[in-house]
Amino acid sequence: MSKAKAGKVRASHILVEKHSQAQALIGRISSGEDFAKIAKDYSTCPSKKKGGDLGWFTKGQMVPEFERAAFGLSIGAMTVDPVKTKFGYHIIKRTG
């Protein structure tokens, strides 16, 4: 697996309060709905204005649970299970 920028990933996410809602949205995205549109419609994070894009980040910039999931994905992949943090439930898509 090549890293475009050493030790950095670029990711988008959708943040919601309920595990069940996150699972439902994962299902919709997996069925072909647009990740960015769903982020704009449902995410509670200010990044929703940019379709959930968080830009590039390195280890130590995000909460550990989020970071583990984001760094563990291959580019273009999305988490199949919601990632729980103190902020709620995240659906994470690695974009770079």
Please give the Cα distance from 4 to 32 (Å, whole number): 27
Flag whether 2 is in a domain.
no
Considering only CA atoms, which of 44, 41, 38, 35 is closest in space to residue 16? 44
Tens-digit pLDDT profile for residues 38-86: 999 999 999 999 999 999 999 999 999 999 999 999 999 999 999 999 9
Flag whether 3 is in a domain.
no
Tallying the residues shown for the chain, one arrives at 96
| pTM (two decimals) | 0.92
Flag whether 65 is in a domain.
yes
Tell me how many domains the chain contains.
1
pLDDT band at 6 (very low <50, low <70, confident <90, very high): low
What is the CATH classification number for the domain harbouring 41? 3.10.50.40
Please give the Cα distance from 52 to 36 (Å, whole number): 6
What residues make up the domain containing 27? 8-94
